[in-house]
Amino acid sequence: MRVLAALSGGVDSAVAAARAVDAGHEVVAVHLALASASPSATPGRARGCCTVEDSRDARRAADVIGVPFYVWDLSERFGRDVVDDFVAEYAAGRTPNPCVRCNQKVKFAALADRALALGFDAVATGHYARLLDGPGTTTGGRELHRSHDLGKDQSYVLAVLPPERLATALFPLGGAADKDEVRAEAAARGLGVADKPDSTDICFVPDGDTRAWLGARVSGAGSEAGDVVDASGAVVGAHDGAAGYTVGQRRGLRLGTPAPDGKPRYVLSVSVAERRVVVGAAEDLDVDVLTGDGAVWCGPAPEVGARLGAQVRAHGREMGCTVERADGGELRVRLDEPARGVAPGQLLALYDGTRVVGSATLSSAVRAERATLGA
Amino acid sequence: MPAPSAARASAYLDHAADTPVLPAAAEAMLAELTRTGNASALHTSGRTARRVVEEAREELAAALGARPGEVVLTGGGTESDNLAVKGLYWARRSGPGGDPRRTRVLVSAVEHHGVLDPAHWLADPATGQGAVVEELPVDGEGRLRLDALRASVERDPASVALISVMWANNEVGTLQPLREVVDLAAEHGIPVHSDAVQAVGQVPVDFAASGLAALSLTGHKLGGPTGVGALVLRRGTALVPVLHGGGQEGGVRSGSVDAASARALAVATTAAVATLGERAAALSVLRDQLEAAVLAAVPGAVVRGPASAADRLPGLLHVTVPGAEGDALLYLLDARGVECSTGSACTAGVPQPSHVLRAMGLSDAEAQGALRFSLGRTSTAADVALVAEVIGPVVERARTAGLALVSS
């Protein structure tokens, strides 16, 4: 196959590209310039996947692997579909995952479309996830699975890829025993990025201070001061912009009035329209009915009543659930046990064993009896 | 289209970026590299090195119509440009004969970044240099508008520190009206610098006749090595150095002189100038064949730069391809063995809309699908034939990819 390998400048994508070469593919490497022209990002100074240093590391890795190297400027798409979306979601009081959006709108959309148009058969990345091909699979077709190393598994951020996108994807690291194996392999291949630290923060937030970064960009109702209230509606404090708060957050609430029971309080919900942040006790965070929209199925859509695993953040634990609704773009599941800190905007990914069934973006997360009471 | 195979035809058409080193220059360089001696040292080895350097300087001067004492050896075109722009600016403002009112630096809008960037550096408030840069407009063929230059100079001649206008443009090949620029500047005693990096060895360059105060050239565009060049500086022209140190090159450019590179530069320059006429004739023929082939294969392609052969470099063809992106074209051509360029500078490999094409009046969209084919000494009819074979399907595919990026 002719494979376009996306090189971030990090160790994973470099080893992935090298493995694609070893597998006999004709590989061309491309580094994505994502931050340079983004109107919302700090020009040129972002870290993670966007810096000149990363571009140089990527180029050097391509040299070592022995494949042609190009830089493609997808900053406009990234700025619009990832950065602006990130700001807009927070401004609306939700908690987005920019890596998910980047995969959905940039790497496996804009990049893949361009690659296919230029004559490539697949796009390879350094994601830790596995693709299993039919007909021997449960679904009979190509399936997305968790990586062999469950500790590094990144299938969650890929759960937004429909079958036609999975058809042209390649994840050469999915079978790696662990990150140590990949680093050792990088060193053995002479790749200078072998001991480069993992990127952890959001790549377009230069210093990792997401709150300050958002504060400079969120405008409108989400940036306006308002009340912090408890579940009864009593005002217990003030905030200077509801968009800066995330469900489950405990720190930085600066509450003037202590809770009657003296226990710590957490953000239960954020209403940007009402400029209100609701706080309460830890147990009030418990939710078990998760509703999402914009559902994407990686294979066949699940049946109502199906028993699946649910995961709501990149390295979160998997929780047992039952599908209550899977209709068009809508998804509702009931968790076996209540979970805490689940916020609208997060991606709900569903698993059947190690297989990724699909995902939806959460629009609400409530406790069943409250939902019933509210109905 | 067929997938590229390992053993394939290839065509190197990026001579304006780097042209093969002349074998005689490489041999001369190797011979000097294996010899020891600092040209500034007084012992026998030093004297030998010094002699090599001075003979190279004399040879260069002869090839360029300059006096040996006017040739300042540098590390290449960018260094020469920086030395001329900053050095002339500083000398014209302060020091003997200087005048602090001379703050204006006039450059054409199509200058190479080697000139544009030092000029803007001088004008950056953060550097405290106090300059004001005026980028003078060009016409649709990339030629400096002399009326604009005249208006700019005559608005306040006493405030002009220097004028810098390139001899030939590196992207579209336009030869600039330097005679007129120099005559106009002479009326007011303003020094003119010209970046002749693309011109030396391609078109006749006579420094004495040019009336220029300073002229930049570099080795690797004319068959010499990369990393060596020269600033030809008219005798008596005051210049403040950029590099301070041992006082080599008449105190204008400190640093131990690289005798091997100087020798190779001299050999290459002499050869390039001596063979200029016959090479220009041959390259013009190939270039016109290439133009015909590209226009025949690519609907909508537009040739940029001067229409008349007399007004441009002989071996350069610049086209814009509507609906395609330059980097997609480059990739697809590279994959089929054709090595060329978009012609413009990159930031971390990210293609930016060319400032040259913008100055010529093109929109960003028009400037997007830019391709520069530059021919040189080793170019053949087979190179043209390979481009003719692949360019049609490549453009078709690049256009599809461009659409993919827009619609997805």
Residue-by-residue DSSP string for B68-80: GGGEEEESSHHHH
> A334: which strand partners?
A289, A322
* Residue A61, Cβ density class (10 Å: 0-12 exposed, 13-18 middle, ≥19 buried): buried
Are both B243 and B308 inside the same structural domain?
A: no
Indicate whether B34 belongs to any domain.
Answer: yes
Q: What's the pLDDT at B7?
A: 57
Whole-model pTM?
0.87
The predicted-structure confidence for B331-340, as pLDDT tens digits, reads as follows: 999 999 999 9
Model ipTM over 0.85: no
Total number of domains in chain B: 2
Q: Which of B330, B346, B405 sits opposite A110 (nearest CB)?
A: B405
Q: Where do we find the tokens 């679904």?
A: A139
Q: Which of A26, A77, A118 sits opposite B401 (nearest CB)?
A: A118
Q: Which option is the CATH number for A220-283: 2.40.128, 3.40.50, 2.40.480, 2.30.30?
A: 2.30.30
Other Cβ atoms within 10 Å of A108 Cβ, number: 24
Work out the minimum CA distance from B339 to partner chain A, whole angstroms. 13
* DSSP secondary structure string for all residues of B33-65: HTS---TT--SHHHHHHHHHHHHHHHHHHHHHT
In angstroms, the CA A306 to CA A308 distance is: 6
Nearest to B298 by CA among B398, B173, B366: B398
Q: H-helix or E-strand containing B382?
A: helix B381-407
Q: What's the pLDDT at A134?
A: 81
Q: Where do we find the tokens 């002349």?
A: B22
Q: Which of B334, B397, B407 sits opposite A119 (nearest CB)?
A: B397
Indicate whether B11 belongs to any domain.
Answer: no
For the record, the structure tokens of A267 come out as 């953000």
Q: Measured in whole angstroms, how far is the alpha carbon of residue A120 from the centre of its chain?
A: 26
Contacts of A114 in chain B (CB under 8 A): 328, 401, 404-405, 408
Q: Which of A33, A70, A113 sits opposite B408 (nearest CB)?
A: A113
Largest CA distance in chain A: 67
Contacts of A110 in chain B (CB under 8 A): 405, 408
For A73, the closest chain B residue by CA position comes to B350
Are both B245 and B281 inside the same structural domain?
A: no
Q: Which of B33, B346, B381, B404 is catalytic?
A: B346
The whole domain housing B36 covers 23-274
Asked if A73 and B408 come within 8 Å (Cβ–Cβ), the reply is no
Are both B261 and B315 inside the same structural domain?
A: no
What whole-number percentage of chain B has pLDDT above 90? 90
Q: What's the pLDDT at A263?
A: 85
Mean pLDDT lowest for which of A126-140, A196-210, A258-272, B267-281?
A196-210
Indicate whether B293 belongs to any domain.
Answer: yes
Are both B282 and B254 inside the same structural domain?
A: no
Indicate whether B15 belongs to any domain.
Answer: no
Residues 6+ apart with CB under 8 A from A156: A100, A311, A313, A314, A315, A316, A347, A349
Work out the minimum CA distance from A66 to partner chain B, whole angstroms. 13
HSE-CB at B255 with a 13 A cutoff on CA atoms is 13
The predicted-structure confidence for A158-186, as pLDDT tens digits, reads as follows: 999 999 999 999 999 999 989 999 999 99
Work out the minimum CA distance from B400 to partner chain A, whole angstroms. 6
DSSP-H helix ranges across B65-156: 77-93, 113-123, 146-155
A309 within 8 A of A352, measured Cβ to Cβ: yes
- CATH at residue B78: 3.40.640.10
Residues 6+ apart with CB under 8 A from A316: A156
In angstroms, the CA B312 to CA B305 distance is: 7
Q: Where do we find the tokens 């620029």?
A: B181
For the record, the structure tokens of B376 come out as 């040189």
Residue A50 is among the residues annotated as catalytic for this protein: no
> B350: which strand partners?
B347
Q: Does A118 touch chain B (CB under 8 A)?
A: yes
CATH fold for the domain made of A2-126+172-195: Rossmann fold (3.40.50)
Q: Which of A49, A50, A99, A102 is catalytic?
A: A102
In angstroms, the CA B267 to CA B279 distance is: 17
Q: Which of B331, B333, B368 would best serve as a mutation to test chain A binding (most A beta carbons within 10 A)?
A: B331
Contacts of B395 in chain A (CB under 8 A): none
Q: Does B5 touch chain A (CB under 8 A)?
A: no
Are both B269 and B282 inside the same structural domain?
A: no
Q: Check whether A236 has a pLDDT greater than 70.
A: yes
Which of B240, B274, B308 corresponds to the end of one domain? B274
For A34, the closest chain B residue by CA position comes to B350
Mark the ranges of chain B whose per-residue pLDDT is less than 70: 1-7, 345-351, 404-408
A7 within 8 A of A15, measured Cβ to Cβ: no
B11 within 8 A of B389, measured Cβ to Cβ: no
Which of B274, B303, B323 corresponds to the end of one domain? B274
Residue A102 is among the residues annotated as catalytic for this protein: yes
Residue B274 is which amino acid? A
Indicate whether B96 belongs to any domain.
Answer: yes
φ, ψ at A183 (rounded to 5°): -65, -40
For A115, the closest chain B residue by CA position comes to B401
Asked if B348 and A118 come within 8 Å (Cβ–Cβ), the reply is no
- Count of A-B CB contacts under 8 Å: 63
Which of B274, B292, B325 corresponds to the end of one domain? B274
Q: What's the pLDDT at A278?
A: 93
Q: What's the pLDDT at A211?
A: 81
Nearest to A28 by CA among A6, A55, A49, A58: A6
Asked if A109 and B408 come within 8 Å (Cβ–Cβ), the reply is yes
- Quick one: pLDDT band at residue A370, thresholds 50, 70, 90? low
Are both B111 and B242 inside the same structural domain?
A: yes
Residues 6+ apart with CB under 8 A from B350: A33, A36, A71, A73, A75
For B346, the closest chain A residue by CA position comes to A71
For chain A, the average pLDDT equals 89
Higher pLDDT, A372 or B202: B202
CATH fold match for the domains A2-126+172-195 and A220-283? no
For A119, the closest chain B residue by CA position comes to B397
Q: What is the dihedral of CA A335, A339, A345, A349, to 10 degrees?
A: -50
In angstroms, the CA A302 to CA A350 distance is: 9
Q: For the domain bounded by A285-374, which CATH number is listed?
A: 2.40.30.10
- CATH at residue B331: 3.90.1150.10
Cα torsion B88, B89, B92, B96: sign = negative
Asked if B405 and A70 come within 8 Å (Cβ–Cβ), the reply is no
Q: Does B332 touch chain A (CB under 8 A)?
A: yes
b/e for A349-370, b at 16 or more Cβ within 10 A? bbbbebbbbbbbbbbbbbbeee
Q: What's the pLDDT at A375?
A: 36
Are both B238 and B296 inside the same structural domain?
A: no
Q: Does A368 touch chain B (CB under 8 A)?
A: no
For B406, the closest chain A residue by CA position comes to A110
Q: H-helix or E-strand containing A351?
A: strand A347-352
Are both B252 and B308 inside the same structural domain?
A: no
Contacts of A68 in chain B (CB under 8 A): 331, 334-335
Q: Which of A2, A36, A114 sits opposite B350 (nearest CB)?
A: A36
For B352, the closest chain A residue by CA position comes to A73
Work out the minimum CA distance from B401 to partner chain A, whole angstroms. 5
Are both B268 and B304 inside the same structural domain?
A: no
Indicate whether B12 belongs to any domain.
Answer: no
Contacts of A26 in chain B (CB under 8 A): 3
* DSSP secondary structure string for all residues of B114-125: HHHHHHHHHH-G
Q: Check whether A228 has a pLDDT greater than 70.
A: yes
Q: Does A55 touch chain B (CB under 8 A)?
A: yes
Are both B327 and B268 inside the same structural domain?
A: no
Work out the minimum CA distance from B367 to partner chain A, whole angstroms. 16
Q: What's the pLDDT at B349?
A: 64
Work out the minimum CA distance from A73 to partner chain B, whole angstroms. 6
Contacts of A71 in chain B (CB under 8 A): 327, 346, 348-350
Q: Which of A49, A50, A99, A203 is catalytic?
A: A203
Q: Does B398 touch chain A (CB under 8 A)?
A: yes
Q: Does A33 touch chain B (CB under 8 A)?
A: yes
In angstroms, the CA A36 to CA A76 distance is: 9
Work out the minimum CA distance from A327 to partner chain B, whole angstroms. 25
**Domain assignments of chain A as residue spans, ordered by start:** 2-126+172-195, 220-283, 285-374
- Quick one: pLDDT band at residue A41, thresholds 50, 70, 90? very low
Are both B304 and B221 inside the same structural domain?
A: no
Strands (E), B196-292: 214-218, 229-233
Q: What's the pLDDT at B402?
A: 78
Asked if B401 and A117 come within 8 Å (Cβ–Cβ), the reply is yes
Q: Check whether A196 has a pLDDT greater than 90.
A: no
Q: What's the pLDDT at B341?
A: 94
Are both B102 and B224 inside the same structural domain?
A: yes
Q: What's the pLDDT at B346?
A: 63
A329 within 8 A of A295, measured Cβ to Cβ: yes
